[in-house]
Chains A and B, each alone.
Chain A
Amino acid sequence: MLKKILLGLLAGSALLFGSVGAASAADEAPDALIKRISNEVLDVAKNDKDIQAGNKQKVLDLVEAKVLPYIDFQRMTELAAGRNWRSATPDQQQELVKQFRTLLVYTYSGALSQVKDQRLEFKPFRADPQDTEVEVRSQVVTARVGDAIQLNYRLSKTAQGWKIYDINVLGAWLIETYKGNFADQIAKTGMDGLIKFLSDKNAKLAISYSKTNKS
């Protein structure tokens, strides 16, 4: 009985979301979007020989192509910077977004390049059709059953469709976790100091990634 209700709810919400301009990519339902890009990316990561051999540059390219278009880095950076965002100049804001974006891409690619035989499972999606901010919940299942890694996404509805603005890994939201790091760095060296710190870090990461590019 409960199973039927749940399936009905799932189907219902899928229909409701899907019926709003189903043909347009910009109106793709948030959970369908996450499922699609996650599975696409995982498939490639698992089956591409170069990526499995350790070519991180290829992972970067994959992430750039398949995932980045759906992430709202502007909002992520703004949230992570907290109070300090408003006191930053537009140039600083732009630069901060750029550097944070680069860092996140490296981090995400790093995680992706470790994928071997993990599976993705999606938890029931619970949201009202008129919600403009939703959470998509999934978990990464490894060979060690019972050690599933929680992986959730927060998305908001923009003019260009649903965009990710926060990610939760193992129970910790990224933005919340970076807030402390950002605030500490800004307190020590100011906004410019934070930007410089990030760009130095990204430069180091760039070097280590290019070394793995064997092709």
Chain B
Amino acid sequence: MNRLARCLLPIATVVVAMQGVRSPQTNPPVERDLVAPPDVKAALRGACYDCHSNQTAWPWYTAVAPASWIIHRDVDVGRKRLNFSSWGDYADDPGTLARKLDEIAQSIAAGDMAPWYYRMLHPGAQLGDVQRRSLLAWVKQERAAQTAFAH
């Protein structure tokens, strides 16, 4: 056995062993998904839905550790924080809906969503200026509708 093989063998063994730690790739039923204009929905689907909905696309590499661990964590946290598939639940409490809309606006304005490593793998997830403006206009419109409804 040459030196290279002697180095690679333990690494390969560890990588293979890592594949034994698996998380299920689940997409729970979508019951109360967001209803929004088509351009808004398309932008959110492209940039957000993989982590912030129950309609996650699970490509092959999402089953390969250690990438799978990071992706599963992102999806778990993402769904907990904001899940477009539960939008109807948020809407049942106007204060929660307002908070979610404000947080979406903040994230879009700050440009911190989607994370850089996600955008590297999904170039289509990068929101362009037109999409960003359209999303911010939608948030503003929804908030105004809420305020009008409350008074």
Verify that A and B bind, or say they do not.
no
Listed in ascending order, the chain A residues whose CB lies under 8 Å from chain B are none
